[in-house]
């Protein structure tokens, strides 16, 4: 099995996703847009993982590789490949499939709960009724046509969605580790203006190890779900 990661900035890498894929036997390749915008044949990877980043999907003038990236994502989805999008990655999937991406009423940065919202049904991933996860986003998206909403929060209605059996977008970061949280803070500290939905740096970084184990375990469940779809 082959997995290909689309990474937009050096400080938002795959986190806990990388070790999970390695343990599952995947050969892992990557496009790092901050180094090169070269993309593989979208029919090649069995799983495409689209990571986060501080830019908007609408910033094509400043980041011209966004347009071919969205075309690549659309072609991978249309080819029946498994695709996972995280934060900006979820917004890119939504945009690639024709949905609108725009500023959320509030920024969400830090540890806040999301609530599972998926209807009962075969082949639909189900999040817990409530779980505290790591957020760092200021934009949101409309659901692509045919998508199922999987989770929401008090600050953002559309936190996760599933499209078909093999495509999932997560507005939040289940892959975060203490090291990657520290990298985000170091590079994006100016966004930490405390509010009801933005934690202070000290609170954000004081999260107990159990919180990371919980979200990384949930990411493992997401990846296992998509792996089954990719292996069909």
All structural domains of the chain with their residue ranges = 2-230
∠ CA 229-111-204, nearest 5°, is: 130
Through-space distance between the first and last CA atoms of the chain, rounded to whole angstroms: 12
**pLDDT tens-digit profile of 144-154?**
999 999 999 99
Instruction: Tell me the average pLDDT across 108-120.
Output: 92
User: For residues 170 and 45, what is the distance between their CA atoms, to the nearest angstrom?
Assistant: 20
Q: What is the largest CA-CA distance in the chain?
A: 45
Instruction: Tell me the average pLDDT across 172-199.
Output: 97
3-state secondary structure of 3: strand
Write down the residue that tokens 């985000």 correspond to. 184
Instruction: Tell me the average pLDDT across 73-92.
Output: 97
**pLDDT tens-digit profile of 9-32?**
999 999 999 999 999 999 999 999
Q: What is the pLDDT of residue 230?
A: 84
Q: What is the pLDDT of residue 89?
A: 98
pLDDT band with cut points at 50, 70 and 90 for residue 132: very high
Top-level CATH class of 2-230? Answer: alpha beta
Sheet holding 167-170, edge to edge: 27-32, 2-7, 47-50, 82-86, 167-170, 160-163, 148-152, 101-116, 131-141
């Amino acid at each position: 099995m082959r997995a290909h990661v689309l990474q937009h900035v050096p400080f938002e890498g795959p986190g806990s996703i990388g070790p999970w894929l390695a343990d599952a036997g995947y050969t892992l390749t990557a496009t790092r847009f901050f180094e090169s915008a070269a993309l593989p044949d979208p029919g090649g990877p069995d799983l495409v993982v689209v990571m986060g980043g501080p830019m908007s999907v609408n910033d094509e003038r400043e980041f011209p590789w966004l347009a071919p990236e969205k075309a690549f994502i659309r072609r991978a989805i249309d080819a029946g490949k498994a695709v996972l999008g995280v934060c900006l990655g979820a917004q890119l999937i939504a945009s690639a499939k024709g949905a609108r991406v725009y500023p959320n009423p509030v920024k969400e940065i830090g540890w806040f709960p999301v609530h599972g919202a998926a209807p009962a049904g075969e082949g639909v991933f189900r999040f817990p009724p409530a779980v505290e996860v790591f957020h760092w986003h200021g934009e949101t998206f409309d659901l692509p046509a045919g998508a199922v909403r999987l989770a929401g929060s008090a600050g953002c209605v559309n936190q996760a969605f599933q499209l078909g059996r093999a495509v999932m977008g997560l507005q939040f970061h289940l892959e975060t580790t203490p090291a990657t949280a520290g990298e985000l803070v170091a590079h994006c500290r100016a966004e930490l203006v405390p509010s009801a939905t933005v934690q202070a740096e000290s609170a954000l970084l004081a999260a107990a190890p159990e919180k990371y184990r919980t979200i990384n375990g949930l990411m493992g469940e997401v990846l296992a779900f998509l792996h089954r779809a990719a292996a069909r």
